[in-house]
Structure 1
């Protein structure tokens, strides 16, 4: 065996638990020819990152790949090319094209996205059963998950706090209605119920763990890891909420196979160009819309609207349509910040609705005279 073959074999053996495969090796080949080392980012912190390589975890500076565009910065889950041993300081010279990316909008007024995790196969949305279900927030998480290219999974944590099996069944059904095409798994990290199904599901790739503070993410991560790696803090009894336990995004190899990225609790979950994801979350509404009389039906008051007919018949819950409208509007607003054509279309639509409202008022006044 040649030295290069031995090195390649060593890389495969060391990085396979983190998701390294032949496709990544092929993509990395030009960087290997330059003497750089492959590795996966397990943590990012203020311009530096920890990268797991065949030689172990190394600390590297990201200055060479930190552009002004926040969508192109190095993030947890990236596969990167780092300087070989002996370089001081060691730099990340490049990252490989991402297969998937979980992105939300930033809290700034600019139209910018923030990448939470890269190269993710499963997006686990953790929802606590210790508090009242917020179905709208679940739909928001799912829209981002579908848009990323990952397969969403809703995990209902703290199932041991639900008083009986019948109540638990109703809660699962509520979420399944909210999440068409998405596995919904009730799990108890305390007694282990449901964990075997989740372990089997996430064992073949990279999973990102998402949810609000107090959703039980760190406890769930520890259960999947088989040890207390993540710090856990108690939640408030009054509302089931808690403080942030995880403060950075960390990538960890699971003992049964697969990789887990744990993230801080997310207070804000803003959409970022997630039209496809919104459509996937509300697939039943989009399917109904194909039967509307007008192809551009807004499902508000148009004649021949199949969506409104489904509301009248009880087939479609009003809450689902309202949530759909809300997320569609929000997504259009975000996209319109950088799309002049869409901004013009939205202005024309606002003017059309304004004219319709004025005409309706004039007609009402005429009838009252």
Structure 2
């Protein structure tokens, strides 16, 4: 009967495993009590507990007298992420079906903020390299600044980063912390007068043909600029085409709800494979969390400073907070900008402008991931 206690003995003599189980419990607490990205943090937290139980059946192992056994979480990781990157890519269909690009198409200038707000990614890559990370790991860490969990997972997996678990946790944590982190970063580089700038919203009429053509055109252009991004951009735009075509409403609803929720659930559990104690508990993990915050903050600041730069030449001034919505955390960032605007002036309605920049950031982050993969491949040739 001694074997019944082997697991408990192994667990309580492994401080790192205990620490990771505590991390799992913390993620579950944040998901339930604080409602921080519960769709992903809850399965990630529960999965972290499962994979850190000694001799966990959720992972592959060799049993005496039985031979090799296959754990479901490791199998999901190997099939759904390692072999094909299928899970994060499929999630983009649901994300695309949720997005209305109307506010962006009404104000094409907002495309610029989706590009400017990726500055923190490349800044953080340089910092990570200076701290001793190799280029592949540095690029994987930098993409945390995209504030887009699936893109972070995909890029780090394609580049073969050994920190995919820490990167995923950092990416989704900072997405959840948008309402806390972004206001601080924006106030650092704006004045009260700038935050009170009013921007009347005058939406243009966007034809159905334009809405249908947009995802097709974006996919072709993205494929020509950064072919590696075609799966990410293509599935995002395919989801949007489902939404806009008008003949597949039931499929659009399924993609927005059933598919997105199911893939998010599986993705959260699957990523926990990379959250085993031997991979996760290290000084590097703390550095990654810190660098992820740097990337996120500088993405926000980059977008804000770009808006301030444009104001040097524009007659109709842009509220620079709009630039901060150029990150990919849709629609949380847009809501943060609206809340900050009404706090300074209750009559200041910035939401639709912020949404335009925000959906541009969704495209920008995916393109940034593809361009990053292309650049790393070229540099390492």
> Normalised by the size of structure 1, how large is the TM-score?
0.27
- The higher radius of gyration belongs to 1
Higher relative contact order (CA 8 A, sep 6+): 2
Q: Which has the higher helix share?
A: 2
Normalised TM-score (structure 2): 0.27
Higher strand share: 1
